[in-house]
Structure 1
Amino acid sequence: MSETTQDQQEHRSGFASFVGRPNAGKSTLTNALVGSKVAITSDKPQTTRTVVRGIVHRPDAQLVLVDTPGLHRPRTLLGERLNDLVTSTWAEVDVVAVCFPSNEKIGPGDRFIVGELAKVRRTTKIAVATKTDLASPERIGEHLLAIQALGQETGTDWAEIVPVSATAGDQVGLLADLLVGMLPEGPQLYPDGELTDSPEEVLVAELVREAALDGVRDELPHSIAVVVEEMGLREGRSEGKPLLDIHANLYVERDSQKGIMIGRKGARLRQVGTAARAQIEAMLGTPVYLDLHVKVAKDWQRDPRQLRKLGF
């Protein structure tokens, strides 16, 4: 290609969505591509609830990543709403990338997702074998063949099948190039420097929720919702010494869960506050005063009124 035609190359912009069963590495991949922590990552499935968009800025393109909740067979009203959110997102994006963790065999959950995705006709579909740092070369080879076979079984035409490790940084750049190549030509959709279009309150709530889920592996199911009630710079501070006041409520479903969340003499809640504050300060670049309270919203995952109040 001559230099002149390279200069005339069109700018591309569009949306890509990572999907996969819970804990397939979608959020970690979003963060690796954007280069900043925008989607929460947790070793527990079902932690992403809002559609967090990470934005990849390049001279030749702007790639907007839409991170959806993991699709699963719903057991609650919240589950049904999350699934509806996923399928409506698929129809609107330019590319859907399905994540299959390389350290696990393809299972019924993956078949369910790819079967649902096969119904979305016009969107380009690629398969990403994630977490390759956790699998041997032989295992990765078998995994790629299994992904190909699943595509044939479901009538899904994979435009690409790419092995990637977001943690080790392997092939993340290649994946970005492939995704950009599948976007339509178009202008920038967001200003330079923006990494996400989620309001800061949403990101703060997600970071608090991530800290709250960490370390309560089995005692507490995913019945934690976080609502930031107030957030603003403290008045009367000099510009050189700002302090951001954040007041947030953590909602659980039962009194027994409230006890677990607060911990003995408040120790657990203090830990959550310390961990969340460090993450929020790193993201916003401002010292933070974080005030957390735990409240009970009885069976909120099954109650339409409570779901609305908690933002679902």
Structure 2
Amino acid sequence: MSEVSSYNYPPQSEKFRCGFVAIVGRPNVGKSTLMNHLIGQKISITSKKAQTTRHKVNGIYTDNEAQLIFVDTPGFQTYHRNALNDRLNQNVTEAVAGVDVIVFVIEALRFSDADREVLQQLPAHIPVVLVINKVDKAKAKDPGVLQNFIDEVQQAYKFTQIALVSAKHGLGVAQLVHILKPMLPIGIPLYPEDMVTDKSARFLAMEIVREKLFRYLGEELPYAMNVEVEQFTEEDGLYRIYIAVLVDKESQKGILIGKSGEKLKKISTEARLDMEKLFETKVFLKVWVKVKSGWADDIRFLRELGM
């Protein structure tokens, strides 16, 4: 983890706890949605499609007792192998190496080989809290079914604690924070109490555009594209943001733009509105499409994108 300055609050700092918590799991189990609810603000993108998170995103929760620095990781990819997914998996491994606690997220009533493979990647010396997400659906069935499922998962790993949540509805999130606090080391906070992420506005703008792309395009295209911020300036209370969407083939460009440019216009408009809400200022946003063949297998290019 990078070094940051420390902040001396609250007064009872000798009892204050502060530490890093990695949120891990296979793709599409609700890790980003969980983190957004944990910190009370949307900073990590969400989508029904798997593998939307491509960067480690730090979300910061602070109260009078503790500061929890959550690390939202990409879903560990066990199937589609290319330079991009190898880099994503490396990001997961690096993220969990220096944390104090690991939150391992799975879906209620679903414990797959992919989940087991993620467990095998976790360091044995770091405590792991099992978080079973989407329990609202499971509880609608026979309560005994959920308990049997919990018993089954417990056989796979020596979990320190278990928490039941519905990340989508924010249920059980406060209890999860309560479970995590005592597991952190005593120490002064690393970030100001009103700070919810250490990511820049430039990075968050890029992630917002990626989220809209995942939400409004077909099943295949989002995995062959990425976004990069080409210009980000602030003048007189206005953010001017220019973002390029990278696709692998010329034929994908038309799919993204849509008939008469309507699809790209819808994506751009919704992204701009989200940015204005997040940044609390007016935003001028320009989004266009560029073809960059083979970018997902170009290691050097991935490094330039910060992956």
1:307 aligns with 2:302: yes
Larger deviation, residues 294-303 vs 142-151:
142-151
How many residues align? The count is: 295
- Report the counterpart of residue 89 of structure 1 in structure 2: 95
Gaps of 5+ in 1: 1-6
Q: Percent identity?
A: 39
Distance 1:115 1:137, change over 3 A: farther
- Report the counterpart of residue 120 of structure 2 in structure 1: 115
Larger deviation, residues 84-93 vs 205-214:
84-93
Q: CA deviation at 1:221?
A: 3.9
Q: CA deviation at 1:219?
A: 4.5
Q: For the residues of structure 2 that align with 1:139 and 1:286, how far apart are their CA atoms?
A: 49
Larger deviation, residues 213-222 vs 265-274:
213-222
Q: For the residues of structure 2 that align with 1:283 and 1:290, how far apart are their CA atoms?
A: 14
Contact 1:297 1:306 in 2 (8 A): no
Distance 1:147 1:76, change over 3 A: farther
- Structure 1 residues 102-181: aligned runs within 5 Å: 102=108, 104-117=109-122, 120-138=123-141, 141-153=144-156, 156-181=157-182
Distance 1:11 1:292, change over 3 A: same
Q: CA deviation at 1:147?
A: 4.3
Contact 1:132 1:140 in 2 (8 A): no
- Structure 1 residues 238-277: aligned runs within 5 Å: 242-277=237-272
Q: Which amino acid aligns with 1:91?
A: A
* 1:134 counterpart SS class: helix
Q: For the residues of structure 2 that align with 1:151 and 1:80, how far apart are their CA atoms?
A: 29
Provide, for residues 122-147 of structure 1, a one-character-per-residue CA deviation record: whole Å limited to 9, x for no partner. 11101001112232354665345434
- Report the counterpart of residue 75 of structure 1 in structure 2: 81
Distance 1:139 1:275, change over 3 A: farther
Q: Which amino acid aligns with 1:94?
A: D
1:290 aligns with 2:285: yes
Q: For the residues of structure 2 that align with 1:71 and 1:255, how far apart are their CA atoms?
A: 29
Q: For the residues of structure 1 that align with 2:224 and 2:178, how far apart are their CA atoms?
A: 38
- Report the counterpart of residue 58 of structure 1 in structure 2: 63
Contact 1:252 1:258 in 2 (8 A): yes
- Report the counterpart of residue 195 of structure 2 in structure 1: 194
- Structure 1 residues 197-216: aligned runs within 5 Å: 197-216=198-217
Gaps of 5+ in 2: 1-11
Taking structure 1 as the reference length, what is the TM-score of the superposition?
A: 0.90
Q: CA deviation at 1:8?
A: 8.3
Q: For the residues of structure 1 that align with 2:223 and 2:204, how far apart are their CA atoms?
A: 18
Contact 2:66 2:189 in 1 (8 A): yes
Larger deviation, residues 126-135 vs 17-26:
126-135
Larger deviation, residues 61-70 vs 131-140:
131-140
CA-based RMSD: 1.7
Higher relative CO (Cα under 8 Å, sequence separation at least 6) belongs to: 2
Taking structure 2 as the reference length, what is the TM-score of the superposition?
A: 0.91
